[in-house]
Amino acid sequence: MAHRDIIIIGGGASGMMCAIKAKEKHPDKSVTIIEKQNRIGRKLLSTGNGRCNLYNTDCNNSERYHGSFKDNLQTFFKACSLEKISAEFSKLGLSTEADNEGRVYPFSNHAASVLDVLRFKLDELGVEIICDSKVNSVIKTENGFTVSCDKKYSCSKLVLSSGSPASPKLGSDKSGISLLEKLGHKIISLSPALCPLEVIDKGFMPSLKGIRQKGTASLYDGDEFIKSEAGEVQFTDTSLSGICLFNLSVYANDIKTPIIYLNLNPFKEDYGQLLHMLKLRADSFKNRDISHFLDGLFVNKLGIALMKSAGVKDFYKRVSSLDKNDIENICDTIYNWKFSVKKPNDYNKAQVCSGGVSGDEINPKTMESKLIKDLYICGEAVDIIGDCGGFNLYFAFSCGMIAGESV
């Protein structure tokens, strides 16, 4: 059985950063990444729509995260600050820039640039990379661990950073979390997160496919308000999507009756101004077909869908036929458009996965297991989710750095 000093299971963002820091700390020790895909960093290339949103300038704000590890974040941020991650990428040779939302991207605007600087550094340091090799079992031994894949390896220290079931088309699965469960760790139940919310019983949804509209989305559990997010709402043929919906999806699995209300009012919270504007439109455009009443305010298909939801039926009559109640109903719908939605259940559409190893069982200063000495847990295996906008990738890189400096 071949021996390695440090083995890292999983060659994603967290695993690669961990390997770099571990080899820098222990240049005389063998550091090996075992990756089940045919190359490391595959999922990294898809992040940020192929641009790789590295982190966010608000990443050290614990309110942007969810999960049982959240209580550890203040200690975690001290161990690896935003400034430290920024300096690390600069040292690797990566130039970055932030947009108006605080999202930091490589200056090249290509995720490949991020993967390149990481791979070059791994090669420069002499980190061993074994691809096309899925780990089937991990056994704790007196002096470390036995790791079984197509071959068996022993190691003194083990880092598990093999991701979650989210985005299985990119090779993700729950195998790493299953290994941790077999080692005795408590696993918070898994569910898709940061994903579209599928609409129930809205026959007009296919007509809205591809339409984008600025607004505010609010999540309710029946009549109970949960959270609101402003941003661009994206309509698909079956779902409500966009960053604001993705962030709300994190809460949807924990409630009984998820309902989304969309406020597409251009005057935001000023209902009276919206109603006044609609009355003026009704007077100015009274000879138009009703089907074009909202043209200029919304894309025609979206305007028709809004009016259908408001109870308008005959779209070939003149706008002059709309009465006071019709105008008020249209105003109500623009201001508070109701969608019953399903709880997230499709890992294929999820960017990340909620759940994972309980935060109570991980030391945030080192990312070492509190249950098993010399075992370190990183990335999506940890029960933590950040909002869209670079928070999850920041956590992956940061915990990889912390673990690598601690092994």
| pLDDT of 48 higher than 90 | no
| pLDDT of 18 higher than 90 | yes
Q: What is the mean pLDDT of residues 219-227?
A: 97
Whether the Cβ atoms of residue 390 and residue 7 lie closer than 8 Å to each other: no
For 302-343, the pLDDT digits (tens) are 999 999 999 999 999 999 999 999 999 999 999 999 999 999
> Cβ of 233: how many Cβ atoms within 10 Å?
26
Instruction: Give the global pTM.
Output: 0.91
> What is the token pair recorded at 288?
């138009």
| Percentage of the chain modeled with pLDDT above 70 | 100
Instruction: Give Cα 313 to chain centroid, integer Å.
Output: 39
Contacts 24+ apart (CB under 8 A), 267-276: 268/216, 271/331, 271/335, 274/331, 274/334, 274/335, 275/327, 275/328, 275/331
To the nearest whole number, what is the mean pLDDT of the chain? 95
Q: What is the pLDDT of residue 50?
A: 87
Task: Look up residue 196 and give its amino acid.
Answer: P
For 267-293, the pLDDT digits (tens) are 988 999 999 999 999 999 999 999 999
| CA separation for the pair 15, 6 (Å, rounded) | 12
Whether the Cβ atoms of residue 341 and residue 220 lie closer than 8 Å to each other: no
Instruction: Give Cα 23 to chain centroid, integer Å.
Output: 29
> What is the token pair recorded at 253?
């699995």
